[in-house]
Chains A and B, each alone.
Chain A
Amino acid sequence: MRYLLRRLSHALFLLAGVSILAFLFTALAPGTYFDEMRLNPQIAPETVTALRAQYGFDKPLPVRYASWLRSVIHGEMGFSFAYNGPVAPLLLVRARNTLLLTITATLLAWGIALPLGVWSADRLGRLPDRLLSWATAGLLVIPDLAVALGLLVLAVRSGWFPTGGMASVDFETLSPFNKLRDLALHMILPVTALVLSSLPLLVRHVRAAVADVLNAPFLLAAVGHGIRKRTLLYRYALPAAANPLISLFGFSIGVLLSGSLLIEVVMSWPGLGPLLLEAVLARDLYVVVGGILGSTLFLVGGNLLADLLLYWADPRIRTESGAR
């Protein structure tokens, strides 16, 4: 229990640290939203100054940070100049969409990588394993951007899938079942891109971890006991190889998040990625801070989940009760 509490406090420390870091960056930034506004001849300079004061931009950084913290507690997370409203609701919708994409992709990628990696480790060094190694290496060296654009070209040329967005134009008029079907169709392309970009690393890690364990004396003993191959691989080898894979799980979420930023923009999926890009281009400060914090939250959440899994899977951590 102490282990979990410690991981939780660590996660909170990370979130606080990242928010401070983000604010520090804003202090170093040479331009603000208001500077762009000042260039606009239709807005009087007094108005801009007044606006600056209204949003507290004439105050020192710690004061701004404190007032931002207050607005986080009120569930606003600052104010978006471009959208002229609080950041939190804006963020929430987008974060939900990103989450939908990344969770689906994570589950799918691991669902494919686990059996494929075990299968390959079982045939270590033989032809199917070597072919798979080559395939994953090939996939590894193709940039995410090329994968995403390639899929898009394919979709446009074949016309099989919708090529962008999250819903068809007539989405609101559809029946609940068709709504779901429409959403699933729109998800195929970005999810495929994400899975393809993360799959090779996952497969290779699973393969290596399981192959490591397969040589262990206790497994050789199990073979001697005449236990069935399938049981051996999935009930004995895989749990023993779980530790590095669970930590990898936490990291894979971070990598998928980074990947989804690009893929969301390319496939115009209304997630955090496009929002962040817009905000960067418009210098919409609090949205940028919010976007970064949101993505950090996902990553930290993913790592917490990995910690939880580790706690569940590894009896050593439970009995050790917080030495380490």
Chain B
Amino acid sequence: MRFRVSSMKVEASAGSQNMPPLLKVENLVKCYARRSLVGRGEELLALNGVSFTVFPGTTLAVVGESGSGKSTLASCLACLESPTAGNIWFEGKDIVKVEERVRRQLRPQIQLIFQDPASSLNPRWSVLEILLEPLILRRKFTREEMKQCASSLLERVGLSPDFVERPPTELSGGQRQRLAIARALALQPKLLILDEALSALDCSVQAQIANLLRELQSSLGMTYLFITHDLAMAVYLADEIAVMSRGRIVELGSAEQILDQPQHETTRQLLRALPRMTRALPAPEQ
């Protein structure tokens, strides 16, 4: 049996198509100049004209093999790198062209969750310090507010408040990723970019975090850009899937479309790579 799209999925996409898009990417190009000391430099096109739109409350999964430009896309969208050409419209503002002051205000609305929770949390800090960092950087909150905010964030992601004084190194991988999500939520962002956020976790933990993400989406109306190489997880989480290869989006469509009528060779390869149960399981004896 092939993978089936879960029927439990929140079908938010149909209604929100009428709303203006939250994120609109047009013809994004990112070019790295690899310079050597002697002779001319080589150019590496990490993104070669990428365009897509994401509507509020939906999930777009970007799937592709390693080196296809997925992470570069994430860095550009999170304003960690500036693209060589193209536009990124976020709530109608072009965050590439806008001046630095405005961008710094827009930035907190787009949050990035990294692949490796071990390196995205400063090991010298305590859980509480890590959680409060974005709030402290905003400089708008009193101590009391921050404490309240911290405990509600911890509760939201299902972490025990006993952890707050400990360093993140004493947390398990899943707990760390929960903490990273809680921290990202602190500034109440509109868009969460998950850059391979589940890939470093064990299978069962992956499922737990994936469910947490869906829960947050239905309760907070979050919008996700889910970047992964795992097509199965993309199908589970996303409304729409974009398949990337060599810096281009080669196929874009709803999860069902991609699953049932793959058009591009890369998509077919990714589908073929999915594990399949070839032997029927013994029927439960009753």
Contact = CB atoms under 8 A, between A and B. Distances in A.
Nearest to B39: A322
Contacts of A322: 38
Interface of B is mostly: loop
Interface of B: 36-38
Contacts of A2: 38
Kindly list the 4 A-B residue pairs having the minimum CB-CB distance in the complex, ordered from nearest.
Answer: A322-B38, A323-B36, A6-B38, A2-B38
B36 to A, nearest CB: 7
A6 to B, nearest CB: 7
A6 B37 CA distance: 10
A183 B38 CA distance: 48
Interface string A1-42: 010001000000000000000000000000000000000000
Interface residues of A, number: 4
5 contacts: A2-B38, A6-B37, A6-B38, A322-B38, A323-B36
Contacts of A6: 37-38
Contacts, number: 5
Contacts of B37: 6
Nearest to A323: B36
A2 B39 CA distance: 12
A6 B38 CA distance: 9
Interface string A257-269: 0000000000000
Nearest to B37: A6
A23 B51 CA distance: 59
A20 B38 CA distance: 25
Contacts of B38: 2, 6, 322
A322 B39 CA distance: 11
B37 to A, nearest CB: 7
Interface string A311-324: 00000000000110
Nearest to A2: B38
Nearest to B36: A323
A178 B37 CA distance: 54
A146 B283 CA distance: 86
A123 to B, nearest CB: 37
A323 B36 CA distance: 8
A322 B36 CA distance: 10
A2 B37 CA distance: 12
Contacts of A323: 36
A323 B41 CA distance: 12
A248 B91 CA distance: 58
B168 to A, nearest CB: 32
B235 to A, nearest CB: 40
A145 to B, nearest CB: 41
A323 B34 CA distance: 12
Interface in A192-216: none
A143 B159 CA distance: 57
A103 to B, nearest CB: 32
B41 to A, nearest CB: 13
Interface string A126-155: 000000000000000000000000000000
A14 to B, nearest CB: 16
Interface string A101-133: 000000000000000000000000000000000
